[in-house]
Structure 1
Amino acid sequence: MALEDPASSWQPEFDPSGAEYTYLLSNVSHPDIEGVAVGYRIRDRVWEETDGRLYVDFRPLAQLGGERDVLSKVRLGAVHGMLCSSVAAANLTDTLGLVNLPFVLNSFDRLEAFLGNEELFSKFQSAPERQGVRVLDVTTYGTYGWATRTPVRNLQDARRVNFRIAEAPVNIDVYRAWGLQFTVMPWPDVHQALQTGVITGLDHTPTTTNISRKFDVAKYYTHVPYAQGLYVHLVNERWLNNLPEDIRAVFLRVVEEESALAREKGRLQQEQQIERARENGVEFIELSSEDMQSLVDASKPVFERWAPRIGEEYVEQVRQFLRNK
């Protein structure tokens, strides 16, 4: 018996076969997450507003492969774009690691302030141009923390946990600096690893943790808002520049408008997912201000390693701009 296509309920209500142009867009996550569902909203609006000339062929759920593989395909133009997780984006170019530096873009308000600063955000957008890629916009899947099988109420508790972290260079350096146990693991392996105790904690956001049902196993969540989980919308520049000017203008406008709406929805979704998780018995925990400050202080080596690679002046400009946001 054939398995049902998990993306079947998101099929378009139009026939895309007559499109003059196609934008093949990838993502590894589930479209129940607002920062992922934006791909379908972009698809439908672009189709309508270009009178069916451009079809955004959105493929979530890792249909086109894992993120490292798809990043290579976007560089080559075999895939035209991707909503790349912020943790993986630094694999394309070091400057994109900015969004995962600890305690910089770590709140919804700081993210909006950064995106609204044309000078600072344009440097981020143009960072992967040598790879033939450009950043169009950003959506969110929430603020990070720790989902664990046993409660983590302080840093002493945290040192007894083996955290799964993403295959991401900045995150590896963060956890080394914090002196915590961690295992780098592909996302598809996480659920079984949690169940079997190979890992006993998960570095992720409440939205993704609840939607992916990791709270079925990890019944405690400690807020550690050191970073935002973001999807960075990357596009192959050659594909973009080959679009007719009028279609390109519509495409860019729709991406910007729908990304902004998705960020609003993502902020609300985090609150909703936390409430649903609480109703299902998940306990949410806050670290003391002293423990949070300890993590801030311990993060200094991450900046010493990454600021020269991202651009020391740029990192300092961003940190100064966001200091009171």
Structure 2
Amino acid sequence: MRLGRRAVLGGIAAGGLAGCARVLGHGVLTSSDTHPIGYPTVEGVRRFGELLYSATGGRLDLRIYAGGQLGNERDTLEITSFGGIDFNRVNLAPLNSIEPLTIVAALPFIFSDTAHMRRVVDGPVGDAILASLEPHGLVGLCFYDSGARSFYNTRRPIHRPEDMRGLKLRVPGSDLYIAMVRSLGADAVPMPLDEVYQSLAQGVIDGAENNWPSFENGRHFEVARFYSLTRHLLAPEVFVMSKVKYDALPPADRRAVRLAAKQSVPYMRRLWDAQVEKSRAIVLASGVAVNEVDPAPFAERMTAMWDASLTTPRQRELVERILAQREVAR
């Protein structure tokens, strides 16, 4: 049975905001995810919980509230920052308005492919982005995959930016995404993910953009029958912990949390890669018109948006380091 959000949060607050006494004893930590049970990010966090339980001899356990039970990512991030939720798996988009460095990894076409993205987020650049979250009440633990995002719609295939003119496209609530879609000539409509299917079916929006698993899991392919592989974004997901709760842990448990998070990443990526292939096969079998796209004309339109988004020297430094890693031999 799906609990009401207020009831769930009330229970978490009653048990969780007692803080140190509960965390240091035998108790259950909480984690939020907007994706459903079985989705790779949820299962990655589940693996984290198993590793943490083992490392602490069962003192630290994890309960996952998946499927958006606790609310959308923007709301749950705020709750996490003041300690009402212990852990949270979120997209970069809601973090963009909180911490400027997160914008760097969310820039369209900054990553050449999945291997490039993984090299970056597993290294010093990724560590710098995770560390930047601490002043905002969040401890960045690791990055999970979010795949290559492409555009889908109910009206026509997209081959070039001109084909996007006049389309109303859903985006996450992020200035970066809004600017990206507008740069391509379409109308950006900020909207929670759980409203997309109905909005597509009712014609409130013409389309959206996302990866293969989200396109398939959300059943968006049932109403949006054109999927154009622009692969404009390879922005990773982020797994964070409330700094209030992290600081209440003894040093050994903090180390256990960080190690378990890092160890959960390869497991999540194996699930992700398998899910991408599964979702792709389901979508293709349904008869959706899928077309490849030359990304160059789309990337060219991002120049002004990049300049407007990069407002600090630190951001620009990280961008240069990311671009330099495109040349690293595989």
Give the TM-score of the pair, scaled to structure 1. Answer: 0.87
Distance 2:145 2:325 in 1: 20
Q: Secondary structure at the match of 1:141?
A: coil
1:124 corresponds in structure 2 to 129
How much has 1:314 moved relative to structure 2? 2.1
For 1:103-142, what aligned pairs fall within 5 Å after superposition? 103-105=109-111, 107-117=113-123, 119-142=124-147
Q: Which deviations, in whole Å up to 9, do the C-alpha atoms of 1:133-160 show, x marking residues without a partner?
A: 2211011232100121133142333224
**Counterpart amino acid of 1:318?**
I
2:325 corresponds in structure 1 to 321
2:190 corresponds in structure 1 to 184
How much has 1:44 moved relative to structure 2? 2.6
Q: Which moved more, 1:164-173 or 1:245-254?
A: 245-254
Distance 2:243 2:283 in 1: 41
2:102 corresponds in structure 1 to 96
2:149 corresponds in structure 1 to 144
**Counterpart amino acid of 2:37?**
P
Matched, 1:204 2:207: no
Contact 2:152 2:209 in 1 (8 A): yes
Q: Secondary structure at the match of 1:111?
A: helix
Distance 1:179 1:127 in 2: 33
Q: Which deviations, in whole Å up to 9, do the C-alpha atoms of 1:78-115 show, x marking residues without a partner?
A: 22221011222213212111221011136311121102
Q: Give 1:285's match in structure 2, choosing from 291, 313, 317.
A: 291
Contact 1:104 1:322 in 2 (8 A): no
Contact 1:113 1:322 in 2 (8 A): no
How much has 1:301 moved relative to structure 2? 1.3
Q: Give 1:308's match in structure 2, choosing from 311, 316, 319.
A: 311
For 1:1-325, what aligned pairs fall within 5 Å after superposition? 20-105=26-111, 107-117=113-123, 119-155=124-160, 156-287=162-293, 289=294, 292-309=295-312, 311-322=315-326
Contact 1:32 1:211 in 2 (8 A): no
Q: Secondary structure at the match of 2:85?
A: coil
Runs of 4+ aligned residues of structure 1 deviating over 6 Å after TM superposition are: none
RMSD: 2.3
**Counterpart amino acid of 2:228?**
T
Distance 2:230 2:327 in 1: 18
Q: Secondary structure at the match of 2:311?
A: helix
Q: Secondary structure at the match of 2:37?
A: coil
Distance 1:106 1:210 in 2: 24
1:10 corresponds in structure 2 to none
Distance 2:112 2:78 in 1: 28
Q: Which moved more, 1:174-183 or 1:155-164?
A: 155-164
Distance 1:263 1:167 in 2: 26
Distance 2:127 2:264 in 1: 19
**Counterpart amino acid of 2:310?**
A
Distance 2:55 2:141 in 1: 19
How much has 1:193 moved relative to structure 2? 0.7
Contact 2:99 2:133 in 1 (8 A): yes
Q: Secondary structure at the match of 2:252?
A: helix
Q: Which deviations, in whole Å up to 9, do the C-alpha atoms of 1:253-302 show, x marking residues without a partner?
A: 22111122212321232122111111121221112x3xx21111110112
Q: Which deviations, in whole Å up to 9, do the C-alpha atoms of 1:30-82 show, x marking residues without a partner?
A: 23321222122222332233221001122121222221111211221222221
Distance 1:112 1:99 in 2: 11
Contact 2:100 2:315 in 1 (8 A): no
How much has 1:313 moved relative to structure 2? 1.9
Task: Count residues in correspondence.
Answer: 309
Q: Secondary structure at the match of 2:155?
A: coil
Contact 2:169 2:209 in 1 (8 A): yes
Contact 2:159 2:228 in 1 (8 A): no
